[in-house]
Structure 1
Amino acid sequence: MQGVFRFEPEDVILPLSASTKNGVLSEFADKVAARCSLPSGSAILQLLLERESLGSTGIGDGIAIPHCKSPALNAPVILFGRSDAGIDFKSVDDKPARLFFLLVTPEDAAGTHLKLLSRISHLLKGADVRNRLLEATSAEEVVEIVMRQGGTR
């Protein structure tokens, strides 16, 4: 996943502490706020909840890709989190999600938003990559897997 974003070990949450869909979204929103020096994650959380109200971003195969666009951002943010127990994300296959990629892009970056969603989806198509992400023992290992499969830093 080359390009206009940063993906570093601090962008990885191993494991997620949340045990519910809204908890995961809140945990990610707080991480975005901290990473982008926003006063709180509440505005990001609201945008994520609004997007989820249109239909779950749980795409099946244990994967969810919650995403939204925010006027508070000037560059894309991608975060990764893993739930070892799995979380009911109302996925299309009714199976719990364990691998989560969060994408938040600037409000006026629709093309970038769609391109990054496509790259994340493509990255996760292969069972090998999904299994390696499930087995990764460190944030550094997750970054290595993602960047090796998706492009360069």
Structure 2
Amino acid sequence: MKLTDILTADQVVADLSGRGKRAVMEELCRPLVAGHPQLEIGKLMEVLVEREKLGSTGIGDGIAIPHGKMVGLDTLLLSFGRSRAGVDFDSLDGKPAHLFFLVVAPDNSAGTHLKALARISRLLKSNAVRQQLMEASDAREIYEIIESQDEEF
């Protein structure tokens, strides 16, 4: 599975305006709701907030991967966002998060969900990739970086 099998260019937010965890997650939900009208932003947020209560999805190195499982969903959903300013996401290393992948999976799809999280982790493990994503000029360029790196992993 490639990330670009799930992520489209219009699900990339190049300049997140949210300054808090909840605001960023809501902003990352918007492109998913726009592309899937059956979704409700409130229900998506409920799933994500519940998952955050178990422990922060801010994994360090400027990365957060908010995620959760949703009843009634039939496909894995993915969005990406970047915050140049950084957001306090209660990350493991105590530093702000700048790069975000939001993953929402059907409640009965453990394998697909875990594969997506592992793929994202491998992609963002590279300092060079993180730097390219931070320096990209717009959403299209961010998507192209993810697309080109997706081939490597």
Are residues 1:54 and 2:54 paired?
Answer: yes
Are residues 1:41 and 2:41 paired?
Answer: yes
Cα RMSD of the aligned pairs, angstroms, is 1.7
Task: Tell me, in whole angstroms, the C-alpha distance in 2 between the residues paired with 1:72 and 1:10.
Answer: 23
Task: Tell me, in whole angstroms, the C-alpha distance in 2 between the residues paired with 1:2 and 1:28.
Answer: 20
5+ residue gaps, structure 1: none
**CA shift digits 1:57-114 (9 cap, x unpaired):** 0000000000011123211111110011100000000000000011111111110000
Secondary structure of the structure 2 residue equivalent to 1:102: strand
1:88 matched to which residue of 2?
88
Task: Tell me, in whole angstroms, the C-alpha distance in 2 between the residues paired with 1:142 and 1:63.
Answer: 15
TM-score scaled to structure 1, two decimals? 0.92
Question: In 2, are the aligned partners of 1:86 and 1:96 still within 8 Å (CA)?
Answer: yes
Check 1:87–1:4 CA distance in 2 against 1; reply closer, same or farther (3 A cut). closer
Provide the aligned length of Structure 1 versus Structure 2: 152
Question: In 2, are the aligned partners of 1:26 and 1:45 still within 8 Å (CA)?
Answer: yes
1:123 matched to which residue of 2?
123
5+ residue gaps, structure 2: none
Task: Tell me, in whole angstroms, the C-alpha distance in 1 between the residues paired with 2:5 and 2:37.
Answer: 16
Once the 2 structures are TM-superposed, how far is the Cα of residue 40 of structure 1 from its aligned partner? 2.6
Aligned-residue identity in percent: 46
1:11 matched to which residue of 2?
11
Once the 2 structures are TM-superposed, how far is the Cα of residue 39 of structure 1 from its aligned partner? 5.2
**CA shift digits 1:118-143 (9 cap, x unpaired):** 00000000000000000111212111
Secondary structure of the structure 1 residue equivalent to 2:83: strand
Task: Tell me, in whole angstroms, the C-alpha distance in 2 between the residues paired with 1:42 and 1:16.
Answer: 19
**CA shift digits 1:26-78 (9 cap, x unpaired):** 11223322221135300000000000000000000000000011123211111
TM-score scaled to structure 2, two decimals? 0.92
Are residues 1:112 and 2:141 paired?
Answer: no
Query: Which one is further off, 142-151 or 50-59?
Result: 142-151
Task: Tell me, in whole angstroms, the C-alpha distance in 1 between the residues paired with 2:14 and 2:138.
Answer: 7
Q: Whose helix fraction is larger, Structure 1's or Structure 2's?
A: 2
Question: In 1, are the aligned partners of 2:3 and 2:150 still within 8 Å (CA)?
Answer: no
Are residues 1:69 and 2:72 paired?
Answer: no
